[in-house]
A and B are shown apart, each in its own frame.
Chain A
């Protein structure tokens, strides 16, 4: 296999939460020892429920927040400790598509200025050249050049997300971090945007880090998938392998919850007991032990090490054989 484009190693991030005037300050473990590689040209997805640290992981890689410890290697360069200034030149290689298509576009700027902004920052193009490029990109994402003169509020959610994608494409990035790019959209529009993302990946040889909570969306777009739970990746596998042969008890429960559009098909529904533990007070040992059907004493005390049970299929569980 070729060199990974992006390599995240043991990344950790905790946030301070104020617990009121007299209580102790709490630490929220948002991202807890996350490691993964992304290879050029592939789509790596992070799935998990709300608050499991997916978006934080995306923002950590994009240097919007700085990790407490761990390393982020991008094209053979460690970027997690760069200063904001040093990072700025790298930003044209890593672009982000954001979740909220309504909030992520400055309402006071014209669409052509929004899309042209990365060009203004990262290149020395003249205004005319920028506009030409913007019109070209508007066409690429299925909008017309005349849309450039308008303001974001004149567009629908799907169109705005296209504008966001066009903006991410302007500087020909190598990696696009798509943070829930379709979760704010209708299902029919979701498909359009996902198809667009796949088409663009082919046309521009893009690499995606795709963050989503929607397993059917992830199944459509990914090559490899990482499942996150309480700030850590519990299972990483190629898409087919993960959907056919999930090994971590959490992944199995998650997959069993995906609705299947076939009324005759019945399948075992795994319901997890209890609530999601608070990330400010994570369980000892295996983070999943409080809700795991196979929990033993060992799980309560020892943190499981990742085991590669098949090529590219890594599980963070003491007993991966139980789920075979």
Chain B
């Protein structure tokens, strides 16, 4: 009975406080809405994600169905972005290819983020030799250009979409580790972390309950930007022939096959190129916008 009473009071209190909690989010939305480029980027990204989900059901043509009567045609009313060397509709292929490119980039970034965040937290929190060890390993990875590193990884573990994901994840790790490490070090100085120790919190509790939430902001911003880089890297690897099967609709491999017909059918390169460019740009601009909105000093 007593328990019931307590729960009902909590619910009451929660109901009272709800507008307050919302207002904080509203404030963020309001600030974010003022950044036009970020809002437009977000809209574009939402469109791309939507395409990745429903693309195969709404595109005008079957992306895999060849049409030998309409090969390498330029943009027209029937095929707005033209057709490729098998007469497949470029627009349909690109929209369906969104799923493959985006899944690959997102999965790779998520894996890279998870590893990078854990390493960064550990390095920043424990310091000393553990910190040096982790950060020097990251420095080694940093020393290679991203693409070169990814190619090396693919060369070692073999081709294929899954391996491309692993390769992209590998070069995402060090940048996250470094950013989260510095965020951890700055949050670690906060008085409430010392308080937590004085209360008797275990290291794990201090790390995950008190420090980690303080690093989420920089994590989100960096994540958004790294997705752009990952799309580019995954496309580049596909372009170089390490990634998806050429017959599958993938942005990078479409660019790659289009390259052979650059003189006769430039649209085969142009549209995948523009789409990759716009998507990467959108993720970067969204990241910039989020960073500026979350930074109290920018207002």
Using a CB–CB cutoff of 8 Å, the interface residues on chain A facing chain B are 62, 64, 87-89, 91-92, 95-96, 98, 100, 103-108, 117-118, 121-122, 128, 131-132, 135, 145-146, 148-150, 154, 167
Is A131 touching B17 in the complex (CB atoms < 8 A)? no
Residue of A62, A106, A107, A146 most packed against chain B (CB within 10 A) = A106
Contacting pair B16 A146 (CB below 8 A): yes
Docked Cα-Cα span, A154 to B20, in Å, equals 10
- Least Cβ distance of A170 to chain B in Å? 9
Chain A residues near B205 (CB-CB < 8 A): 121
Would you call B191 and A148 a contact (CB within 8 A)?
Answer: no
Name the B residues within 8 Å of A96 (CB-CB): 195, 198
CA distance A104 to B194 in the complex (A): 8
- B192's partner among A87, A105, A121, A154 (CB-CB below 8 A) is A105
B195-220 contact mask (Cβ, 8 Å, vs A): 1 or 0: 11111111001000010011000000
Q: What is the CB-to-nearest-CB distance from A159 to chain B, in angstroms, rounded to a whole number?
A: 16
Contact with A along B212-244 (1 / 0, CB 8 A): 011000000000000000000000000000000
Instruction: Please name all residues of chain B whose beta carbon is closer than 8 Å to the beta carbon of A132 when the two chains form the complex.
Output: 2, 6
Could you tell me if A88 and B200 are in contact, using CB atoms closer than 8 angstroms?
yes
B186 within 8 A of A: no
Please give the number of chain B residues whose Cβ is less than 8 angstroms from any Cβ of chain A in the complex: 28
Q: Among B10, B20, B191, B200, which residue has its beta carbon within 8 angstroms of that of A100?
A: B191
A191 → chain B, closest Cβ, in Å?
A: 24
Closest to A102 in B: B191
Q: A128-B6, A149-B17 are in contact. Are A106 and B192 (CB under 8 A)?
A: yes
Q: With A118-B199, A122-B200, A145-B9 as known contacts, state yes or no: A104 contacts B191, CB within 8 Å.
A: yes
Main SS class of interface, B: helix
Chain A proximity of B258: nearest CB distance (Å): 49
What's the Cα separation between A108 and B214 when bound, in Å? 8
30 contacting pairs across A/B (C-beta < 8 A): A64-B198, A88-B200, A88-B202, A91-B199, A92-B200, A95-B198, A96-B198, A98-B191, A100-B191, A103-B192, A104-B192, A104-B195, A105-B192, A106-B192, A106-B195, A108-B214, A117-B196, A117-B201, A121-B200, A121-B201, A121-B202, A128-B7, A131-B10, A135-B6, A146-B9, A149-B10, A149-B13, A149-B14, A150-B17, A167-B199
Question: Is B191 a contact of A146 with CB atoms below 8 Å?
Answer: no
B27 at the A interface (CB under 8 A)? no
**Closest residue of B by beta carbon distance from A113:** B209
Bound form: Cα–Cα A106–B20 in Å: 18
**Cβ-defined contact, A91 with B198, below 8 A:** yes
Contacts of B13 in A (CB 8 A): 145-146, 148-149
By a CB distance below 8 angstroms, the chain B residues around A135 are 6, 9
Determine whether the beta carbon of A106 is less than 8 Å from that of B9: no
A64 close to B3 (CB less than 8 A): no
Shortest B6–chain A CB gap in Å is 6
- Report how far A107 CA is from B213 CA in the complex, Å: 10
Known: A121-B202, A135-B6. 13 other contacts (CB 8 A): A95-B199, A96-B198, A98-B191, A98-B195, A104-B192, A108-B213, A118-B199, A121-B201, A132-B2, A145-B9, A146-B16, A149-B17, A154-B20
Tell me the bound Cα distance from A167 to B10 in angstroms.
Answer: 19
Residues of chain B within 8 A of A148, CB atoms compared: 13
- Measured CB to CB, the closest approach of chain B to A113, in angstroms, equals 9
Q: Is the CB of A131 within 8 A of B6?
A: yes
Q: Please, how many angstroms separate the alpha-carbon atoms of A88 and B17 in the complex?
A: 35
- A105 CA to B195 CA in the complex, in Å? 8
Q: In whole angstroms, what is the CA distance A122 to B190 when docked?
A: 23
Q: Cα distance A307–B121 when bound, in Å? A: 52
